[in-house]
Structure 1
Amino acid sequence: MTATRIARSAVASDTLGLEEAAKMLRLGLEAMKELVDSGDVPAVRLNQKHTVMLREDLIDFLRREGRRQAAERKQRKTQLPPCGRQLIKRAARRPRPPDLRPYEVD
């Protein structure tokens, strides 16, 4: 294998198009486009049809987002005592009675 071929294959494996990035993150194409449009995932738009991103940037996004979500879960867990969590679960199962105030007669 020549040095040029090795360089091309290394570059090709380090960069991903939208479809490949969506597959790597296990997302749909539209969700991937939204991440790129919002700036959450850095990408280069070469033209209207080609968007390229680095595999490393996607891995960094996964790490950053995973840590953020883990911190949120940890914070929610520590905010409520165990019995409070059970009350919330029970309250969510009970349907609320309808508001009958408009039908009350004075």
Structure 2
Amino acid sequence: MEDIDDTLGLEDAARMLRLGLEAMKDLVDKGEVPAVRLNQKHTVMLREDLINFLRSEGRKQAAERKRSVIGALPAANAPASGSTRRTSKSRRTKLPDLRAYEQADHQS
């Protein structure tokens, strides 16, 4: 026989999950948390089911956060946008005209 502490009513379940009573009722109504309605006044849940709900929801949210972070990261082979390399002006592709200097050397 299970101990009475293994079952919780709506108020205690809401307190355990740190939710308001209406939010707890919504979870039960949507079927996200398994519960038994004994009559119109009493809804009972297993503590173990609430813990499993927390584990499942925590893993789901962690995976969503991980996907959103990975999607925001640049690809491994993409150039770094915050690169420390200085951008320089375009390099000189044409050699300077040195004829004036050569003529000066020949006249001396």
2:70 maps to amino acid: T
* Structure with greater proportional helix content: 1
Verify: 1:42 aligned to 2:34, yes or no: yes
TM-score (norm 1): 0.67
Q: Root-mean-square deviation (CA), in Å?
A: 1.2
Q: What TM-score do the two structures reach when normalised by structure 2?
A: 0.66
**SS at 1:78 equivalent:** helix
Shift of 1:54: 0.1
State, as a whole percentage, how many aligned pairs show the same letter.
Answer: 73
Match of 1:71 in 2: 63
Q: Distance in 2 between matches of 1:62 and 1:68?
A: 10
Counterpart residue number, 1:19:
11
Q: How far apart in 2 are the matches of 1:28 and 1:63?
A: 19
Flag the structure with larger Rg: 2
For structure 1, the 5+ residue unaligned runs are 1-6, 83-106
Output the CA distance in 2 between the equivalents of 1:75 and 1:66. 14
Counterpart AA for 2:3:
V
Aligned length: 74
Q: Which runs of 4+ in 1 moved over 6 A?
A: none
2:73 corresponds to 1:81: yes
Q: d(CA) in 2 for partners of 1:45 and 1:25? A: 19
Deviations 1:19-71 (A, max 9, x none): 00000000000000000000000000000110000000000000000000000
- Choose which of 31, 40, 44 in structure 1 pairs with 2:23: 31
